[in-house]
Amino acid sequence: MKQIVVISGKGGTGKTTLTACFAALSKNKIICDCDVDAADLYLLLGPDIMHEENFTGSKVALIDPEKCSECGECVKACRFDAIIDLEIDPVKCEGCGVCVYLCPEKAIVMNNRVDGTIFLSDTSYGPFFYARLNAGSGNSGKLVTEIRKKAFQKASDMKSELILIDGSPGIGCPVIASISGTDLALIVIEPTLSGEHDLLRIAGLTEHFKIPTLVCINKFDINEDISNKIENICNEKKIPVVGKIPYDPIVTRAMIEKKTVIEFTDRPVKEQIQNIWKNIYEKLSG
């Protein structure tokens, strides 16, 4: 079983659009959306939810009023002002556990907090895991790890050949959780002013984790000078460019219709994406 992750330096580069196309082009795989802070792959895959479960990534304090002597030590100690009238405000509580440690009556316990929901769904392209993080929850890295664990288990059970991951953008904790242990990372980059910088940052990350990396330049023709610069950087860093996709408004139309480009059109952009998938698959198999 191989794991491919599609990543980018920032959101909105076409990463999810391409992942959806790869889902349509590949066989015998599990798909997962690890871009948990902006999960939108489900919009293109039209999932039927088969199972959902709570994600409990953090802790929240709870006072037992039966045991509390109202000494006020916890109120003084809480740096987040989360204890008001001897009740914990779950939104303000950061789960640090200081109040539990200091309470002389052992009246405070830490409980699991529900930070989001993980969904296993069925799509016409295969099983698909995605998640919804609750507002204000900051555990996206842990949630990505949880989704990937579930996807791996499912792939093992089904003897799938591939796990296709829509990774988190950037270089923070969720993207590290998205790429760790994968067999190949595809960086999707657009030829914009920040594109060069984004490429260097994210390629530095995959290099650090020793993950074989490929690059795809999306909308390469909106600025061919920067596209050429990006190709030069890739050549210098020995990162293969597996394809360049021209700008085509049909891609946006497909998104609006909630379809993958593969099923929506027969314009040349479809063939470009098919070729990119073929190149990726050859690299993965080779």
Chain residues that interact with ligand SF4, rule: CB under 6 A: 61, 63, 68-74, 77-78, 80, 82-83, 86, 88, 93-99, 103, 105, 107-108
Strand, helix or coil for residue 7: strand
> With 0-12 CB in 10 A as exposed, 13-18 as middle and 19+ as buried, what is 75?
middle
For residue 98, how many other CB atoms are within 10 A of its CB? 15
Q: Which is nearer to ligand SF4, 102 or 200 (CB)?
A: 102
Chain centroid to Cα 103, Å, comes to: 39
Residue holding tokens 């009023």?
A: 65
Is the Cβ of residue 89 or residue 196 nearer to ligand SF4 in the bound state?
89
CA 71 to CA 114: how far, in whole Å? 30
Question: Minimal distance in Å, beta carbon 104 to ligand SF4?
Answer: 6
Strand locations in the chain (E): 2-7, 29-33, 48-55, 58-63, 83-84, 87-88, 108-113, 116-123, 126-133, 162-166, 184-189, 213-218, 241-245
Q: What's the min distance (Å) between Cβ of 132 and ligand SF4?
A: 24
- Whose Cβ is closer to ligand SF4: residue 108's or residue 118's? 108
Q: Are 207 and 179 in contact (CB under 8 A)?
A: no
CA angle 260, 264, 267 (to 5 degrees): 115
User: Is 33 or 115 the residue whose CB approaches ligand SF4 more closely?
Assistant: 115
- CA nearest to 14, candidates 200, 284, 275, 273: 273
Closer Cβ to ligand SF4, 58 or 192, answer by number: 58
SS3 for 217-275 is EECHHHCHHHHHHHHHHHHHCCCCEEEEECCCCHHHHHHHCCCCHHHHCCCHHHHHHHH
Minimum distance from residue 84 beta carbon to ligand SF4 (Å):
10
**Contact, 195 vs 34, CB < 8 A?**
no
Q: Which is nearer to ligand SF4, 24 or 63 (CB)?
A: 63
Say how many residues make up the chain.
Answer: 286
Residue 65 vs 286, nearer CB to ligand SF4: 65
Kindly state the smallest distance separating residue 199's Cβ from ligand SF4, in Å: 39
Minimum gap (Å) between residue 58 Cβ and ligand SF4: 10
Task: State the nearest-atom distance from the C-beta of 56 to ligand SF4, in Å.
Answer: 15
Residue 176: CB minimum distance to ligand SF4, A: 26
